[in-house]
Structure 1
Amino acid sequence: MIALIQRVKQASVTVDDRIIGSIDKGLLVLLGVEQQDDADTVVKLAHKVLHYRVFSDEQGKMNLNVSQVGGSLLVVSQFTLAADTRRGLRPSFSSAATPAQADSLYQAFIAQCRQSGMVVETGSFAADMQVALINDGPVTFSLQA
């Protein structure tokens, strides 16, 4: 499971010209699910996303996590993160989870984050989505469990 996290001042996801999820300060989480992922992977990655220190403290150092700054999460499924791009000029998705497995683990990740008390907005699994964001920094990290 891969989470590409971006520290944002605001972010939103639109489907069919309608905003279905939006946040102000927080993290945009683009989530890719791979075949070997399971419930343990979900727990580990959710913990990492929620506790990763990417927000600045009063000295300007990245010492605070999303909860400590009163931020929210916008979680968007992103199967292309599971692409193998090492060879050729076309990505291979052979390591990506099946749609059923990916949707189940995507929903489990959202539930795990909400269980921690975090405000979580979402995209729509497998939909054609448009994601808008104001990346703060810019700060972007790729996390794996």
Structure 2
Amino acid sequence: MIALLQRVSKASIEVEGKKVSEIGKGIVVFIGIQKQDSEKDAQYLANKIINLRIFEDSEGKMNLSVKDISGEIMVVSEFTLAGDCKKGLRPSFDRAMPPLQAQKLYNQFIDFLKNTGISVKTGVFRSYMHVYLVNEGPVTFILNTR
């Protein structure tokens, strides 16, 4: 699984012109699921994201997690993260997990996050979305379970 994390002061998602999700301070997680990914990867990634210290403490050091600041998480499915751009000029998505399997793992990942007590919002799986966010910092990280 590949996750692109952005620390945000706010974020929202629109689908077909309607707002479907919104968070305040927290993390937007763009998640790409690959063929070899499993429930174990989803659990590992959820735990890592919940505990990753990317928010500043009173001294300005990245010492606090989303859990520590009572922040929120927004999860956005993004199969393009599994894209391979090494050959040619058109990305290959051969590494991406097929949609039905990916949706199951995506839902498990969300459940792992929610089971920690953190507020979790989502986009709409396999939908064309407009994602609006205010990246604080900017602070952006890429996590990969491989």
Give the aligned residue type for 2:113: C
Map of 1:42 onto structure 2: 42
Distance 2:16 2:35 in 1: 29
Deviation at 1:87, TM superposition (A): 1.8
Give the aligned residue type for 1:38: S
Deviation at 1:86, TM superposition (A): 1.4
Q: Deviations over 1:12-57 (max 9, x none)?
A: 0110111111100000000100000011011001001111111001
Map of 2:126 onto structure 1: 126
Map of 1:135 onto structure 2: 135
Map of 1:110 onto structure 2: 110
Runs of 4+ in 1 over 4 A off after TM superposition: none
Distance 2:70 2:117 in 1: 11
Map of 1:84 onto structure 2: 84
Q: What's the TM-score, normalizing by structure 2?
A: 0.97
Distance 2:129 2:56 in 1: 30
Structure 1, unpaired ranges of 5+:
none
Structure 2, unpaired ranges of 5+:
none
RMSD after superposition: 0.6
Distance 1:143 1:52 in 2: 11
Map of 1:59 onto structure 2: 59
Q: Deviations over 1:78-118 (max 9, x none)?
A: 00000111121111111000001110111111000000101
Distance 1:124 1:20 in 2: 8
Aligned length: 145
DSSP 3-state at the match of 2:95: coil
Whether the aligned pair in 1 keeps the contact of 2:70 and 2:118 (CA below 8 Å) is: no
Query: Is 1:75–2:81 an aligned residue pair?
Result: no
Distance 1:85 1:52 in 2: 28
DSSP 3-state at the match of 1:58: coil
DSSP 3-state at the match of 2:97: coil
